[in-house]
A and B are shown apart, each in its own frame.
Chain A
Amino acid sequence: MTSGVLTRHALAPRLVGVLSLLAFFALIEVLIRIGVINRFIVPPPSEIIGSFGRVITEEHVFERFLLTAAECLTAGVMLTVFGIAGGVLMHRFKLLQQACETWVAALASAPIVLMYPLFMVIFGRNVWTIIMIGFVAALPPVILKTIEGFAGTRRVLIDVGRSLKLTRSQQFYKILFPAALPTIFVGVRLGLIFALINVVGVEFLINFGGLGQLINDLAERYDLPGTYAAIFFVIMVSVLFFMALEKVERWLRPE
């Protein structure tokens, strides 16, 4: 009966999800307090919540967030410019596309982030290593989605452009590019997600930069509640970033 009422209500599943999560954290808190889980391995959730204020003020989270955001933004601008340009070039020259598209697709499945020691040698241990890894690792989806966007332009739109005797550049700016834009943005969205993942990951690995370094710092100081709080903070930032990108994509995509 109760489950029937629950399933009929639209908000019920979300409520169950949130309550389950809260119940899980409450259970962990109890297990730690009664000594079943070692508090020196997993700090109580109440201590993690309590450490948020300290981490935010003492560890300069806002400045770190801005640094990570700036690295992602720089990588994002670079991959948008070079990714779309690469896609346009390959769409324009079919021979180049036939020769290289499978290479780009293969590169998308390659563990590019593992080249970070190499990038450290080339660029040094600074923000450019982080930005370049974010850029290179996120480039393939933007190129591939740009090609897909142009290839998927409806024939009728192209023929309308031809019947209006549009020049090649008019055809591109007035027909092809606007039609391909929603698909291109899917690529940019994927690219930005990859860039964020790689930027934070490399910050953590090379112990340099913004939010990724914060987690490494706190872990090396054995500040467990702080480490967990920082991880939670990075997850929240990532999730909000993905949600914002989805909103923009929905806004761009025609109904």
Chain B
Amino acid sequence: MSTLLHVEDLRVSFPSRSGMVEAVRGMTFTLGRERLGIVGESGSGKSQTGRAIMGLTPPQARITARRLEFDGIDLLSATPAVRRNLRGGRIAMVLQDPKYSLNPVMSIGRQIVETLRTHESVSRAEARARALDMLAAVQIRDPARVFDLYPHEVSGGMGQRAMIAMMLIAGPELLIADEPTSALDVTVQLEVLSILDRLVADRGMGLIFVSHDLRLVSSFCDRVLVMYAGRVVEEISAAELGNAKHPYTRGLLNCMPTLGTDRHPLPVLDRQPEWRL
């Protein structure tokens, strides 16, 4: 399997009144054309890891890494122009909530066309045709109608499909999905996930699936990194999740109330200071 992404000792820190706060403290992993899950609680650094790869870290933050390489391109020394070309072109990102991540004053079709024409020189007519095809590929039944709708006119599930269409239209090799279904209803979640799953498989993309939901991620990915306080505390293959060793991973698995288990009170995480090390 060819390696698409090398991340070695990635650190992201933010200035604060009490000095620098490290959100990511030495992430190391490689990614091929596979599905990798990154799981952790809020503040664990999972989203900042994705954003650093994408090049969306806020300007005041400091990023260092021994190696941060996408297909042989060193991302840290790349010029803004190179990164702009990568972003949306070869690396794409699906964000959590279509209500906030789509442009509210631009029709869905125009946003998709804009992405495509930023990265490829195609005629208007061809761009439109490809956007319609892409909307059909994310199982939107009436692409021509949805093309002209604005984000507020569609449901969350439809908006998220439009977002996926927009992210995949330029044919990226790496897709970072940051909580792509957390804002959706449970029944719609599965629909969106199966669309995402099929497209990623058909196109042979690498996928980084960032989520707080360990069970969901493990049902979707090949391999899972569990993050705590900016670091990976455990890496497991999704099938082996039941045999997770780290107490944090096991705690995360255990604390969810599920149908058919009757535990009162629920077990809670007893956070150990040594997990931070």
| A and B interact physically | no
Q: Which residues of A contact B (CB under 8 A)?
A: none
